[in-house]
Amino acid sequence: MKRLFTSFLGAVCLFALSACSDEETPAPQPGSGDTEELPALPSEVVKDGRAMWVSYDPTPDADANSTTFIHGALVSWRLLQSDPSNVAFDIYKSVDGGQEVKLNVDALFNSTCFLDENIDVTKSNHYRVTLSGNSETICECDFTPEMAQTYYRKITLNANPSTIELPENGYYVADDIQVGELDGDGEMEIVIKREPYDGANQGGWHNGTTLLEAYKLDGTFLWRIDLGVNIRSGSHYTSYILYDFDGDGLCEIAFRSAEGTQFADGKMITGEDGKVHDYRIRDLNGAGWASGAKLPTTCGLIFEGPEYISICRGYDGREIARTDNIPRGGEGSKVERAEYWMDYWGDDYGNRMDRFFIGAAYLDGIPDPSTGARTSNPSLIVTRGVYKNWQVWAFDLKGSELENRWKFDTKDHDEKWLAMCSHAFRVADLDNDGKDEILYGQAAIDDNGNELWCTGNGHGDCLHVGKFIKDRDGLQIVASFEEENTYAVQGLGYGCQVIDARDGSLISAHGAGMHGDVGRCIVADVDPDSPNMEFWSSMNSGMYNCGGSIDVPISPDMPTGIGGGTLYNAAIWWTGELTRELFDRALIVSYKANPRTNKNRLVNFATGYGSNEGNHSTKYNPCYYGDFLGDWREEVIMGSSDHSAIYIFSTNYPTEHRFPHLMTDHTYDMSQAMQNIGYNQPTHLGYYIGSK
């Protein structure tokens, strides 16, 4: 049983909030104080659940550009990695508790879904799946008249503000979501980040603190963690990771914490004096501490005070381990510290030094590709810095301790490694040695914390890792870059590139020379008539083959969405074709007309069903998307337009293709788990799914 070392005091009796100067006593280090026995975790964890789900659109023909045009209820379930290759299924239905009938005539071999076109949604329908010719139930679910009222499943978010400080606008945005097993019942739960505002590249005084909340899929509220006043809101600063770090089958949640962070059991991190010191800068006429430049955006930022990394149990939100975060660095007066920040991080006003991301990597060996069985537990990965120097630290969770495994600091490496980072990192077995590497933009760090390779391309906003060329060994990387003097001169010479993940060498590219900030790119198999996957970028020079000739487009046309704009943000498996659709601004688009509906615009969750258009300004990201319910297609979670709820959408398109639960592929699992650290990045597989 895990133990908690309480280095903080209960909020009820000893909490006080006070403004703080740079002379304040730092908070005590974790590990001091009394020990407390935590409540027991579930003794059994259900594994290999089929995640059976029913998707039904009550208004499929309401809007040709927004609704699905698919009639009937799609019942789907997972194909397990352990299922034999020739496995087939039967599906049965009973209505209002009546006699059960078999729905399929022939055994279901090609897919793990069934479109019930004769459903009576005014009655309760119970579905049951067996192995073909066998009477034993392998999964079952109910679909009620209440569920049939909307195309989505709604989870109403906790509206109780009694323990939180409301923002000026009076509501919290439904922001990034991660999914995972929290209570061992075999059904994934969700953890949502709720933010009072997006502080990315912004300052200003704002009330409200960032919240992490857990819910079951039926809407049951489980717990809340409040990150507190000393954790700046925004996508660059409040990354978190939901993953099983100790191998017990239940997820933990890791994030940056500070004085004022309150865990789900009510315990709070305080200073040695039992108070929470408010380190936020309140000067509306703020300036860089060393440069003196007038920078109003420093108001509300946090330049000092202790910072930690906390891990909590996903089961109940209680903290189990804590360690120091990568430090800001610098000593002495404010000016002396700021001069260090300018020299090391790249500015003296808290922007570049505060870029923080967190994730997971299997540094001792990835799960067995054929069975999914773990050979080791993953490590926690923490990064700081993007634009000049940067650091990556790896930790292992050992009981109630986070033990540092290695540290990578660019000050110890060649200058070529400076400013190589993107606004997120990716994790995959880049060199095919059976262990994960960390890809932080254009710098690859080996599993042992040593250099693997560095392209010199510099910083960029988009980073994709997966199997993009069907017959080429290993994984590939697709990325675009921001600084033309870096990618065109020091780097590999192009604004958007396909790179071999094993050694960082160039495979294909477009945009030779200097093309300014190439802010967007995407890779997916969208054209059924072209081999390999296609990639394109915001240079808008056409669509290219990942394995094709450099700077030679295969088509001048790229997928377009609302207002005719080119789509770059995300790709999704939705309809069950072997090609992939594009997803942006709540709209799913097929590059070529879908053969079932003869439509390009397949569904718009906002105009058709009342969701918002997405998060993070022009990026229009969903809260989450990925394969966590039903068959292998990917679900989408959007926020409601009034921020009071989230909507879970699952495809209602039948398919004649089947694949195991996509999270059993290691590359995909890493991409879905870390899709929303920093700038959201799409999911990708480590094996090839495509039309050719």
Q: In whole angstroms, how far apart are CA 362 and each of 374, 435, 658?
A: 9, 6, 28
CA contacts within 13 A on the Cβ side of 686? 25
C-beta separation of 330 from 323 below 8 A = no
Which of the four pLDDT bands, split at 50, 70 and 90, describes residue 617?
confident
Three-state secondary structure call for residue 53: strand
The pLDDT of residue 236 is 85
The pLDDT of residue 36 is 72
The pLDDT of residue 22 is 43
Bridge partners (DSSP) listed for residue 635: 626
Q: pLDDT tens digits for 505-563?
A: 999 999 999 999 999 999 999 999 999 999 999 999 999 999 999 999 999 999 999 88
The answer to whether residue 376 sits within a structural domain is: no
CATH of the domain at 115: 2.60.40.10
- Count the neighbouring beta carbons within 10 Å of the beta carbon of residue 141: 18
Average pLDDT over residues 338-351: 90
DSSP summary character for residue 671: H
Q: In whole angstroms, how far apart are CA 2 and each of 401, 515, 667?
A: 10, 54, 30
Q: How far apart are the first and last CA of the chain?
A: 51
**pLDDT surpassing 70 at residue 409:** yes
The answer to whether residue 76 sits within a structural domain is: yes
In 238-332 the beta strands, taken as DSSP E runs, fall at: 240-243, 252-258, 267-268, 276-278, 307-313, 319-324
When mean pLDDT is compared across 35-44, 69-78, 254-263, the lowest value belongs to 35-44
Percent over 90 (pLDDT), the chain: 81
**H, E, C per residue of 130-176:** EECCCCCEEEEEEECCCHHHCCCEEEECCCCCCCCCCCCCCCCEEEE
* DSSP per-residue codes, 422-491: BSS-EEE-TTSSSS-EEEETTEEE-TTSSEEEE-----BS-EEEE--STTSSS-EEEEE-S-HHIIIIIS
Bridge partners (DSSP) listed for residue 192: 177, 213
When mean pLDDT is compared across 35-49, 62-76, 195-209, 534-548, the lowest value belongs to 195-209
The answer to whether residue 284 sits within a structural domain is: no
Q: pLDDT tens digits for 255-313?
A: 999 999 999 999 999 999 999 999 988 777 777 788 877 665 677 788 899 999 999 99
The answer to whether residue 305 sits within a structural domain is: no
Which of the four pLDDT bands, split at 50, 70 and 90, describes residue 337?
very high
Virtual torsion, Cα 672, 678, 682, 686, nearest 10 deg: -50
Average pLDDT over residues 468-474: 97
Q: pLDDT tens digits for 476-516?
A: 999 999 999 999 999 999 999 999 999 999 999 999 999 99
C-beta separation of 83 from 660 below 8 A = yes
The pLDDT of residue 259 is 97
The pLDDT of residue 14 is 39
Nearest Cα neighbor of 473 from 634, 686, 220 is 686
DSSP summary character for residue 672: H
Nearest Cα neighbor of 517 from 544, 538, 543, 498 is 538
Q: In whole angstroms, how far apart are CA 548 and each of 206, 465, 474, 509?
A: 50, 18, 17, 9
The answer to whether residue 675 sits within a structural domain is: no
In one letter, which amino acid is 279? Y
* 224/261 Cα distance (integer angstroms): 11
Mention every residue, 6+ apart, whose C-beta is less than 8 A from residue 145: 121, 122, 123, 124
Nearest Cα neighbor of 590 from 511, 661, 651 is 651
**pLDDT surpassing 50 at residue 598:** yes
The answer to whether residue 56 sits within a structural domain is: yes
Three-state secondary structure call for residue 178: strand
Mention every residue, 6+ apart, whose C-beta is less than 8 A from residue 381: 358, 359, 360, 361, 392, 393, 394, 395, 425, 427, 438
* DSSP per-residue codes, 83-138: S-TT--EEEEEEETT---EE--SS-B-S-SEEEETT--TTS-EEEEEEETT--SEE
Which of the four pLDDT bands, split at 50, 70 and 90, describes residue 165?
low
Which of the four pLDDT bands, split at 50, 70 and 90, describes residue 204?
low
What is the longest distance spanned by two Cα atoms in the chain?
79
The answer to whether residue 59 sits within a structural domain is: yes
The pLDDT of residue 110 is 96
The answer to whether residue 428 sits within a structural domain is: no
- The model scores a pTM over 0.85: yes
When mean pLDDT is compared across 300-304, 444-448, 477-481, 669-673, the lowest value belongs to 300-304
Phi, psi of 673 (to 5 degrees): -70, -30
* 223/243 Cα distance (integer angstroms): 17
When mean pLDDT is compared across 29-43, 68-82, 625-639, 651-665, the lowest value belongs to 29-43
Residue tagged 């579905």 (tokens): 127
Q: Mean pLDDT for the chain?
A: 91
**pLDDT surpassing 80 at residue 571:** yes
Domain count, the chain: 1
The pLDDT of residue 4 is 37
Which uninterrupted H or E stretch holds 513?
A: none
421 alpha carbon, distance to own chain's centre: 18
* 82/43 Cα distance (integer angstroms): 24
- 217: exposed, middle or buried (C-beta count within 10 Å: 0-12, 13-18, 19+)? middle
- Which range marks the domain in which residue 141 is found? 51-147
Percent over 70 (pLDDT), the chain: 91
